[in-house]
């Protein structure tokens, strides 16, 4: 299973989702490859300082992360594209209509729409907002791993 996480700038939410899912994949018996991208990413931008801080608190490292924009190659690579908001899902589908069947909002795909289906953009917010967002992403990813168990087997 190849998962592409998408947000706006690929410096906060999708980069955290990528790091968190890589850890879950390593702890799982599932074969999961992960990438992330942004709809309006500035190529090469580092992960935001607060995203790096929160991931360090969780034992993960985003120091080497560099933002990348969503590309046709990444869309074709992915078995599943998970966005942080409905608007981002719609933007991906507008740009890559053939990707519609495999493009979903993370919390909707995970069936965890507590507090709405969108994950708030923490950009320029206090570190506490990043912690909350990381918690929402982590909760959803645990459910995603359960949902995709056995994908591609048999």
User: Domains of the chain, with CATH numbers?
Assistant: 2-148 (3.40.50.2300)
Among the listed residues 66, 79, 121, 131, the single catalytic one is 121
> Which residue in 7, 52, 89, 118 is the catalytic one?
7
pLDDT digits (tens, 9 = 90+) for 62-108: 999 999 999 999 999 999 999 999 999 999 999 999 999 999 999 99
Each residue's pLDDT tens digit, 100-136 = 999 999 999 998 666 679 999 999 999 999 999 999 9
Give the number of C-alpha atoms closer than 13 A to the C-alpha of residue 109, restricted to the C-beta side.
26
Active site residue 98: no
Please classify residue 153 by burial: count the beta carbons closer than 10 Å to its beta carbon, then call 0-12 exposed, 13-18 middle and 19+ buried.
Answer: exposed
Query: Is 13 known to be catalytic?
Result: yes
pTM of whole model > 0.85?
yes
Task: Provide the percentage of residues in the chain whose pLDDT is more than 90.
Answer: 88
pLDDT of residue 113: 60
Task: Give the Cα separation of 27 and 59 in Å (integer).
Answer: 14
Q: What burial class does residue 141 get, using C-beta atoms within 10 Å of its C-beta: 0-12 exposed, 13-18 middle, 19+ buried?
A: buried
Catalytic residue among 12, 13, 89, 118: 13
């Amino acid at each position: 299973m190849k998962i592409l996480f998408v947000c706006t700038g690929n410096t906060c939410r999708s980069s955290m989702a990528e790091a968190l899912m890589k850890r879950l994949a390593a702890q799982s018996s599932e074969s999961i490859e992960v990438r992330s991208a942004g709809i309006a990413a500035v190529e090469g931008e580092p992960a935001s300082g607060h995203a790096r801080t929160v991931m360090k608190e969780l034992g993960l490292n985003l120091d080497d992360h560099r933002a990348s924009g969503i590309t046709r190659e990444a869309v074709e690579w992915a078995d599943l594209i998970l966005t942080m908001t409905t608007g981002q899902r719609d933007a991906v589908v507008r740009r890559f209509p053939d990707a519609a069947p495999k493009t979903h909002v993370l919390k909707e795909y995970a069936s965890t729409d507590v507090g709405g289906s969108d994950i708030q953009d923490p950009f320029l917010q206090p570190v506490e907002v990043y912690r909350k967002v990381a918690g929402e992403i982590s909760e959803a990813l645990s459910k995603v791993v359960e949902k995709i168990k056995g994908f591609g087997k048999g």
